[in-house]
Structure 1
Amino acid sequence: MTMLTYTLITDPAPLAASEAGRQSKSTGTVYLLVTNTGQTAYATIKVTVPVGTGAGHLTHDFTTITPKGEHTDIKTGRTRAVTVQTQNFAVQVSDQGSAVSFGPGDHMVVTLENVTVAPEPGLAVLRVTEAAGRSKSGGLRRSDTVVAVVKTAPKDIPAPHGFLADDVVVDAGTKVTLNWEGSDDFTYEVLFPGGRKPVPRVKHPGSHGPYSLVLDAGDAPRRDTTYTLVAGFGAQRHTLTTTVQVRNPVLGTLTAVDGVTTPRLAGSTQGDGSITFLPGGVKVWSTPGSDAPGTVFADKADLDGVNTRWVQGRSSDDGWIAFSRFGLQVYPGGPGTSTHGVVYADSVRAKDAPYGQGGGWINLHDEGMTVYLSKNGSNGLGSVTARDFNR
């Protein structure tokens, strides 16, 4: 039976086992509280740590442990450091090689810092070997006892957070930089329409650091795009999303159910025409920002009416028709010529002839022309009335 009393405390409590394959390991601190509950005692103390990867081991790497010891005299209230040595997976505590003096009520704390917890959950038992006596000059008697540490199952890796783009509104084709905070234990991948990008692992001083991924011109968004960050380790899986808006989206097709509202439409390349929407109609311009009217090309038009100053054939040499307040005038060649042109027709019908319905009808043929009554479709010859005739 030991002269001193031993109590073991951990931080955090309980300790979580490390998980195989994770870059970040579970670490903690083990405190061994040594208390004298009786008469004055003198003792050296050895704590043997079970090392390995099993359920009964505290750590698989003894070299990471930093030990220290502090003794507190209850009468004076003074705390002082004691000598701590390590050897063969054990920590030896003494007073510069001699037994430490424990007055009634004195205590000592042996601290094992930076313990990398072994990967299997379970109960790790530490053996305490005490060499103690009531007299400093007398022989010290060896006694053994044990203290135990609980190791729970590994904790989940903290979920990543802060998944955002440097710029949430960009021009089409502009590179995008995505940033987030997350553990180095995860394998990261960014998904987006038409592609996916794995994220290279990076090394940080801690297990939780900043990440970034740059999508260059080849993967840059051409329309509003939602990016999905996928973080995975074993059975753990987390997804985060962020959206980047594009000022000038490039679309393959556009289907608008309720209509499209815009003040202007323009072509996608330099020099293309544009359409401006005005109250009551539209205007077509030769180039965006220009005041020069442009041209509308179509196979046919089905309209309720047309208001125009002139009409011409497709060729620049074709005749054209000008509209004046008194009627219309036909000219040969392009607009601007003043010579009158020719109207070709098989026949001419006069709407308001004396015989009424149908009007008079003039048939034009190779030998000349014939005037018909054209009353109710009659082929009866009609009359030509003139004030004068010069032959």
Structure 2
Amino acid sequence: MTALTYTVFTDPASVEASAAGRRSKSTGTVYLVITNTARRTDWSRIEVRVPVGDGVGDLTPNLPEMKGKYTDNRWGTQASTQEVKVDPQRDTNVFEVTPKSGGAASFKPGDYLVLTMENVTIAATAGPAVLTVREKTEDDDGEHTRYTSVALVKTAPKEIPAPRDFHPDKGMVGAGENLTLSWEGSPEFDYKILFPGGQKDISSDTRTWTPPDAPKRATTYTLVATDTVTQKQHFLTTTVQVRFPVLETLTATTGIDTLWVQGTVDGKKGRVTFTDTGVEISGNSGGRGTVTADRADLNGVNTGWVQGRSADDGKITFPKDGLDVRNGSGAWGTVHADKADLNGINTEWVQGRSADDGWITFPVEGLKVHRKDDSHLTHLEVGYATHDIVKTRIVRGLNDDDGWISFRAEGLNIRRGRGTERGTLFAANTELKE
């Protein structure tokens, strides 16, 4: 039995073996507490052997540093502490602990010595690790060299806790407003974030990410954490809402309820507003806008006017007594049609299709037939006509060299061709009074 008592403690209380393949190793602090529970003893040397390696019985793959402090704990008085010398032995896994002053030092009952190994990398294999001790002491019975051992347990490594608390810094963003996603998790995972249209690999030591493009519509982000050793994956999702979303397409199977619909491009923000009577179309400036379509199939149209596509096209307005047709300048315009089926026509004149064609006016007496170059009564061709009275100055044959008849107060003149030479009256029977 040793003269002194040896006890080992660890922080954390249960140290885990380091999992093979992990980026980071399991670490802990090992305390070896040495006390005197019996009679007064002088000590000159304590040797502690640490098992080094990654096997079942090993504590650590690399020999750590050891420090020591001796406390004089005299009962009823203030305890005092002093450092002791701790030297690793060359080419061994042994630490030699000696009094600070050298030689032998008193180790009274109640005093204690604490040897500390901090940030020890724990071996990769679970199981007990045994520290062996050799002490050299002296008491009333003489000098003694005795041995003992103390053990600690390396537990099997636990599964790495899944990442958690994946969230945006704001749940609702405006158009073009950036956001940052953050989470908590182990550096032992490979991280990536999935989002519509792509994904981003994240460094294992990073716990935040800002999307390069601000979301335009409600967007779900998925955090994928992959265990680098087991390849087990964990998935966390979070959704960010956009205050004024931009949609590429929208399919609604039961309908859409909204006050208005508006464009998104600057300069093209026309709006459709839904009223109690139908819809209103507004332009980019907010005034009444234009509907452009290939065809409109309507039961009726109420409008102040109708015009062609160009600003100088003709226009039709709708006064109370019918409609007015105007040309691009605003003057009276022309109606072009193949046929008109009307109950009546009120007009000042009628002319052929060409500007050189003759034209007809409608005086109070009846009608007048004109040529282009003057307003005199001119050539009239009639297939058949029945009149109570025909008033005319000249009657000519159908051919240019036919004779003609003029009407004078005394009677009539018969002339030949185009000239003024007297012509001949031909008749089957002529009865004259003179």
Query: Is residue 147 of structure 2 the alignment partner of residue 144 of structure 1?
Result: yes
* C-alpha distance in structure 1 between counterparts of 2:148 and 2:268, whole Å: 91
* C-alpha distance in structure 2 between counterparts of 1:284 and 1:123, whole Å: 83
Give CA-to-partner distance per residue, 1:244-284, whole Å, 9 cap, x none: 33344333321023323333333343322512414223222
Q: Which has the higher contact order (CA 8 A, sep 6+)?
A: 1
Return 5+ residue gaps in structure 1 as ranges: 203-209, 351-387
Give CA-to-partner distance per residue, 1:333-377, whole Å, 9 cap, x none: 248334575676453479xxxxxxxxxxxxxxxxxxxxxxxxxxx
Query: Which residue, out of 277, 287, 294, partners 2:273?
Result: 277
Aligned to 1:3: 3
Q: Contact 1:35–1:106 at 8 Å: present in 2 too?
A: yes
* C-alpha distance in structure 2 between counterparts of 1:57 and 1:254, whole Å: 65
Output aligned runs, 1:228-307, within 5 Å: 228-233=222-227, 234-235=229-230, 236-280=232-276, 281-287=278-284, 289-291=285-287, 293-307=288-302
Give CA-to-partner distance per residue, 1:95-126, whole Å, 9 cap, x none: 22333423234433333222221111111010
* C-alpha distance in structure 2 between counterparts of 1:80 and 1:163, whole Å: 49
Aligned to 1:126: 131
- CA positional deviation for 1:314: 4.8
Return 5+ residue gaps in structure 2 as ranges: 345-363, 368-434
Query: Which residue, out of 297, 310, 331, partners 2:325?
Result: 331
Root-mean-square deviation over aligned CA pairs? 3.1
TM-score by length of 1: 0.76
* C-alpha distance in structure 2 between counterparts of 1:34 and 1:126, whole Å: 13
Query: Is residue 192 of structure 2 the alignment partner of residue 183 of structure 1?
Result: no
Supply the AA of the counterpart residue of 1:156. Answer: E
Q: 1:319 to 1:339 in 2, by over 3 A?
A: closer
Once the two structures are overlaid, the 10-residue window that deviates more, 271-280 or 125-134, is 271-280
* C-alpha distance in structure 2 between counterparts of 1:16 and 1:124, whole Å: 12
* C-alpha distance in structure 1 between counterparts of 2:282 and 2:61, whole Å: 78
Give CA-to-partner distance per residue, 1:7-33, whole Å, 9 cap, x none: 222222221112233333222222223
Output aligned runs, 1:1-391, within 5 Å: 1-43=1-43, 44-63=45-64, 65-77=65-77, 78-88=79-89, 89-96=93-100, 97-135=102-140, 139-170=142-173, 176-202=179-205, 211-217=207-213, 220-233=214-227, 234-235=229-230, 236-280=232-276, 281-287=278-284, 289-291=285-287, 293-314=288-309, 319-326=314-321, 328-334=322-328, 336-338=330-332, 341=335, 345=339, 347-348=341-342, 390=366
Q: 1:342 to 1:51 in 2, by over 3 A?
A: closer
Give CA-to-partner distance per residue, 1:12-55, whole Å, 9 cap, x none: 22211122333332222222232323222222322111111111
- CA positional deviation for 1:175: 5.4
- CA positional deviation for 1:83: 0.8
Compare CA radii of gyration and give the structure with the larger one. Answer: 2
* C-alpha distance in structure 2 between counterparts of 1:187 and 1:273, whole Å: 45
Q: Contact 2:34–2:114 at 8 Å: present in 1 too?
A: yes
* C-alpha distance in structure 1 between counterparts of 2:314 and 2:272, whole Å: 31
* C-alpha distance in structure 1 between counterparts of 2:220 and 2:13, whole Å: 42
Q: Identity of counterpart residues, as a percentage?
A: 44
Supply the AA of the counterpart residue of 1:25. Answer: K
Supply the AA of the counterpart residue of 1:252. Answer: E
Supply the AA of the counterpart residue of 1:284. Answer: I
TM-score by length of 2: 0.69
* C-alpha distance in structure 2 between counterparts of 1:5 and 1:273, whole Å: 87
- CA positional deviation for 1:149: 0.8
Secondary structure in 2 matching 1:7: strand
Secondary structure in 2 matching 1:140: strand
Flag the structure with higher strand content: 1
Supply the AA of the counterpart residue of 2:39. Answer: Q
Q: Contact 2:314–2:333 at 8 Å: present in 1 too?
A: no
Secondary structure in 2 matching 1:51: coil
- CA positional deviation for 1:61: 1.9
